[in-house]
Amino acid sequence: MSKKSKFILLIFGLAIFSYLVYDFGVANIVVNIKKLRWWFAADVGVWAVVYFCNAKAWFAILRDHVDGVSFPAVYKLTVTGFAINYITPFLNLGGEPYRVVELQKKAGTHRAVSSVILYNMVRMLSHFLFWFLAVLMMFLFFSPTGSFAVALIVVFLFVLGLFLLFLAGHKNGIFTLWFSWVDRHPFLQKLARPMEAKRQSLLIIDEHIRQLYNANRKTFYVAVGYELLARFISTFEFLFILVAIGFHPSYGEALYINAASSLIINVFFFMPFELGTREGGLFLVMQTIGYPPGIGIVIGLVNRLRELVWLFIGLTFMLRTGAPKEERSTLEMMEVHKKL
């Protein structure tokens, strides 16, 4: 993506965000956020547990790859990685090279990269399972009809296809699948040319990916289970916010809001800082279940405030664990890409 395209997306997202804020009213937003009080501390605490589950999922994977890495270290690295992702404007991937840099000191480049890729693949599988649940809940509890029902079926089939694709990646290796497609379709070879020189390294990483699913199935299920549990726990954030501003949602409604808004955000993953997509997605989701749509703007802003708190915590972890200076980190990350 060119710099011009990124800038256009940033302006577009900012415009949507500004319109939604204006439409709901700055005064309304301030009034509702003031109602949070100690509920905001509870919201921040929920994410301490969410990150605990994320770290447990990654730690389960790491134990099959790396010796001598403690869970507290993995927890700090998990929080720090997500914190760096928050401040990466495009694609939210800045934390992944940092995790690789920190892990390769104990595991070597290939194992460090494979564990980070594996964790993100497991994380995506849990997303898909969570979205399946959201669609099923809509049919079970809200009885959608007409075009909305058709849209939900399309979403279900689309997510099912992605789920099966990622499951095939776990079973056969994502790079093995990619190179097999390239070898069978010559028109793809131009696209694959930059990866061709790194084929051997990528296939070594694939071997570690296949090993988790094929030889360590229990670890695979444990990791997916922890990530799915993290989604259920994060639902309390939406429950707490709605209760704080005067509503009485059920856990099922909060679960649907969480899953549906997450799906919209991930569909528009290319939007910098999720500007417009998060608040706009919540605006639409709240409308589908009979809540004032403007409340979605308040929820989105509280989400961002909570992220800022954990951003500060994550960067503090990075400083206290003696992370390399920015210049050294950049050089090490470049070296990782060279080795792959």
Residuewise pLDDT in 10s, the chain (340 residues): 455 654 554 565 556 556 556 555 667 667 667 777 888 889 999 999 999 999 999 998 887 666 677 888 889 989 988 888 777 655 556 677 788 888 777 766 767 777 888 888 888 888 888 888 778 877 777 677 777 778 778 888 888 888 887 777 767 766 676 666 666 666 666 655 656 656 666 666 666 667 767 667 788 889 989 999 999 999 999 999 999 888 888 888 898 889 888 887 776 655 555 655 777 778 888 888 888 888 888 888 888 888 888 888 888 887 765 544 443 444 444 444 444 4
Residue 90 lies in a domain: yes
What pLDDT shows up at residue 332?
47
Measured distance CA(269)–CA(91) in Å, rounded: 6
Q: Which residue type does 90 have?
A: F
What pLDDT shows up at residue 329?
44
- Are 29 and 245 in contact by the 8 Å Cβ rule? The answer is no
Query: 128: which 2 tokens?
Result: 């898909």
Residue 231 lies in a domain: yes
- Are 57 and 122 in contact by the 8 Å Cβ rule? The answer is yes
- Are 53 and 227 in contact by the 8 Å Cβ rule? The answer is yes
The parent domain of residue 329 ranges over 26-300+316-339
What pLDDT shows up at residue 272?
52
Residue 18 lies in a domain: no
3-state secondary structure the chain: CCHHHHHHHHHHHHHHHHHHHHHHCHHHHHHHHHCCCHHHHHHHHHHHHHHHHHHHHHHHHHCCCCCCCCHHHHHHHHHHHHHHHHCCCCCCCCHHHHHHHHHHHHHCHHHHHHHHHHHHHHHHHHHHHHHHHHHHHHHHHHCCCHHHHHHHHHHHHHHHHHHHHHHHHHHHCHHHHHHHHHHHCHHHHHHHHHHHCCHHHHHHHHHHHHHHHHHCHHHHHHHHHHHHHHHHHHHHHHHHHHHHCCCCCCHHHHHHHHHHHHHHHHHCCCCHHHCCHHHHHHHHHHHHCCCCCCHHHHHHHHHHHHHHHHHHHHHHHHHHCCCCCHHHHHHHHHHHHHHC
Residue 30 lies in a domain: yes
Residue 308 lies in a domain: no
Residue 100 lies in a domain: yes
Question: How many domains, the chain?
Answer: 1
Residue 17 lies in a domain: no
Residue 72 lies in a domain: yes
What pLDDT shows up at residue 327?
36
What pLDDT shows up at residue 31?
67
